[in-house]
Amino acid sequence: MFRRALNCAVVPALAVAAALTGAVPARADGIPNAPGHRLVSQYDGAPATAAPVPGQAPPQHPFLAPSGRSGMHADAAGSATYPWSGPLGRNPRVTSRKIAALGGECATATFDSGGRLVTVCGTFAGFEVKLLDPRTLDTLAEYALPQRSSTVEAVTRLDFSKIFKDTSGGAYFYLDDQDRAVLADSRQHVLRLAHAQGPDGTWSFTVADDWDLTGVVPHDCIGWTNLWPSGTCDPVTSVMPDWQGRIWWVTRLGRVGTVDPRTSAIRSVQLTGEEIQNSFSVAEDGVSIVTDHALYSFAATPDGTPRVQWRQTYDRGTGTKPGSVNQGSGTTPDLFGDPAAPGGGYVAITDNADDRMNVLVFRRGRDVADGDRLVCRVPVFGAGASTTDNSLISWGNSLVVENNYGYENVTSLLLGKSVVGGVTRIDVRPDGSGCDTVWESAIRSPSTVPKLSTANGLLYFYEKEPNVWGIDAWYLTAVDFRTGERRWRRLTGTGPLYDNNWAPITLGPDGTAYVGVFNGIVAVRDDG
């Protein structure tokens, strides 16, 4: 899953880290580069030729914007795939936009029907929903969200680990079928925001709907006027609609609920003793949610109350690894395969096994016996250095997983350091009898949510290699889906301001690749 993107955007201490690198402005509206920008390779490899990957795309969700435009993981199934091409590496040009003096990371990016970006960016003052021009990255409109309690706690108690373990406050949002952004803010309200252009040509956001969850979600949260709360604060992590149009929501402390947009009825249950820090995926057969203990399939009763269809535990290990936010799976579930086939299609996550993390594939049908649900358990990456906090890519019967072991936050890789890295492709056998490793790559992609263009056959990662001179060089990297070979990479910038800090790569309908970075957003597009 996407993990702590935006969190670094509110840490004053990290301004010192940027200052230590001697960042100098590239241009007034661009993100500054640290020294060494011209001492590293600007471009490696050669342009790729588009080689479409055959397969069936996940079903279009009736209440989401078209697949590829609607959210962090590109579609309701969490496939992280796009039906259009990303850049092929033909003289790729980099554009950046500095959003704030400190921070400003724009993580989840969606696209309205006019191709404009709808995103959420983190600043010291709080998160902002922004409408951006897809070419210039200029802000067309913005809507301020309330500051998260973790930010206040970090500043007042000098414990910055709090914000690095907080996935709430609006970072996980989706764009619906009417171009509206739906999110849960830090007040435990679910908002539906519309945007429109006025007669004078200016754009603005308006609140179309506001559903208050505080009647069912504990909300005694730290704030500037409530520095020492005595009760419980349970932040809302993510929201997604089901096939009937209900808005599902989950909280960090294991609450799972729904809002009926037609009646405003709110229903919820709690998974006691379990934590939810990932987003979740939706198909016609149910809602797939992973906690730090188990994988669930939910459906709703006639009145909207969440009901467990099945539950599958996994190896959660004995502790939290460097590169994980909690002691559990770091992945949003991937739904793939044919749900009409025997077993009802597949759902995949990773576990948190101590020595080597495993990719787990389960049959997701409601009628599958518990003993028959597991299809395969495949260990990945090196012993003692294996974890991921980002979702898998799924296409056809293939899965791609990256290794995030060793990345904690934007300070982790300063002065030329990197992670051990690794990327692996695993395929489920056609007869469902197990899984096989297709290829392994040494690509070091510290913390991004990678993506696949099925139109050109390229996987996109955000890469950083060790540098003996202490230069922190960040690259958009294209890898061949079929072979695992790096085809090309383009330098986006140097220094911690270009660290993506858990933000995903997003492919725009015009072929541009966008990456949220510490100081704002970067765009890479072919210019030849």
To 5 degrees, how large is the angle CA 30–CA 166–CA 287? 105
**CB contact at 8 A, 461 and 423:** yes
- For residue 160, the model assigns a pLDDT of 60
- DSSP code, position 39: G
CA atoms within 13 A on the CB side of 178: 9
Tokens at residue 277, please? 């820090």
Residue 72 makes CB contacts below 8 A (sequence gap 6+) with 1, 2, 107, 108, 172, 279, 332, 449, 504
Tokens at residue 352, please? 């948190």
- For residue 16, the model assigns a pLDDT of 37
- For residues 391 and 290, give the distance between their C-alpha atoms in angstroms, rounded to a whole number: 12
- For residue 455, the model assigns a pLDDT of 98
- For residue 26, the model assigns a pLDDT of 39
- For residue 163, the model assigns a pLDDT of 60
- For residue 11, the model assigns a pLDDT of 42
C-alpha 463: how far from its chain's center?
16
Beta-bridge mates of residue 210:
191
Q: Give me the torsion for CA of 449, 45, 511, 120, rounded to 10°.
A: 30
HEC readout, 453-492: ECCCCEEEEEECCCCCCCCCEEEEEEEECCCCCEEEEEEE
Tens digit of pLDDT at every position of the chain (528 positions): 544 444 444 444 444 344 334 444 434 489 999 999 999 999 999 999 999 999 999 999 999 999 999 999 999 999 999 999 999 999 999 999 999 888 889 989 999 999 999 999 988 778 899 999 999 999 999 999 987 766 776 676 666 655 655 666 678 899 999 999 999 998 999 999 999 999 999 999 999 999 999 999 998 888 888 878 888 989 999 999 999 999 999 999 999 999 999 999 999 999 999 999 999 999 999 999 999 999 999 999 999 999 999 999 999 999 999 888 889 999 999 999 988 887 889 999 999 999 999 999 999 999 999 899 999 999 999 999 999 999 999 999 999 999 999 999 888 999 999 999 999 999 999 999 999 999 999 999 999 999 999 999 999 999 999 999 999 999 999 999 999 999 999 999 999 999 999 999 999 999 999 999 999 999 999 997
- For residue 17, the model assigns a pLDDT of 41
- For residue 165, the model assigns a pLDDT of 57
- For residue 147, the model assigns a pLDDT of 77
Domain residue ranges in the chain: 7-525
Residue 70 makes CB contacts below 8 A (sequence gap 6+) with 61, 64, 76, 110, 174, 175, 176
Burial of 198 (0-12, 13-18, 19+ CB in 10 A): exposed
Q: Which CATH code for domain 7-525?
A: 2.130.10.10
